[in-house]
Homo-oligomer: A and B are copies of this chain.
Amino acid sequence: MTGRPQVGPLVFRALEGVPEVVPGADLAALLWGAAERSGIALANGALAICQKIVSKAEGRLVELRTLEPRDEARRIAEEDGKDPRHIEAILRETKRVVRRGKGVLICETAHGFVCANAGVDLSNAPGDDVAVLLPVDPDASAARIHAGLLARGAGPLGVIVTDTFGRPWREGLVDVALGCAGLQPLDDLRGSADLRGRTLQVTTIATGDALAAAAGLLMRKDAGIPAVWIEGLPLGSPAPARVLIRDPRIDLFR
């Protein structure tokens, strides 16, 4: 439950008509055009954007044939029946392998994300031998798109770059916020009191992740819906999504 005043309904709308994204594409221009054609006014809301198209626009692609797998990559690939060049791409994005399961590596990335295969993805890549990597700095990606939309005439808005992550202990994936601009991703409730005036035990709500999770339900890689427009939540005090990454020094599970 958020600390922000919330009155009306919270509405998630799939943004259709975004063209295929290629390296160097001006994402803000593509998203602005799709919103215009859909009759969506980009103001007083937040635009959730699938990481995949952000990475593609930024050229965060690697041709597997250019990679020389290290011994560790060859060993893992052999044990798991995978392409050693794919494992090499994963290890290059990995600061630390947190866990290894059957056919999956849970990795800590340079950003501090903990996710399967360090976010390196072969599906929907623009060719069979190309892997898509996470953006180098998803907050900077969000900030660039945010600035590009404002420059085109968007009103006050938030931008959330999302990706689909697994979780310990629970089945199924949910989308989380990798990068944010123009909105508050973490709501601090410390100090607010409950109905009886007792201080709440919970401290912070991951608003950015909660918005990403529901937006993810409307995104459809297989039908070309890489973005969702969200209305109804005040933007709060903008901060980057990196505030959602727990400091390893206080993380019980790092």
Contacts and interface: CB of A to CB of B under 8 A. Distances in A.
Contact of A246 (B170, B210, B246): B170
B201 A207 contact: no
A141 to B, nearest CB: 19
What is the predominant secondary structure among interface residues of chain A facing chain B? mixed
Interface residues on A, range: 35 or more
Contacts of A222: 1, 192-195, 200
A214 B211 contact: yes
A173 B10 CA distance: 19
Contacts of A1: 164, 175, 216-222
B243 A221 contact: no
A136 to B, nearest CB: 20
A99 interface: yes
A221 B2 CA distance: 10
Given A6-B218, A167-B206, 6 more contacts: A106-B252, A121-B201, A172-B209, A173-B205, A210-B214, A211-B217
A250 B1 CA distance: 32
Interface stretch (A11-19, A25-33, A69-77, A150-158): A11-19
Nearest to A121: B201
Contacts of A195: 124, 221-222, 224
A113 B187 CA distance: 24
Contacts of A79: none
A101 B175 contact: no
A213 B209 contact: yes
A65 interface: no
A35 to B, nearest CB: 14
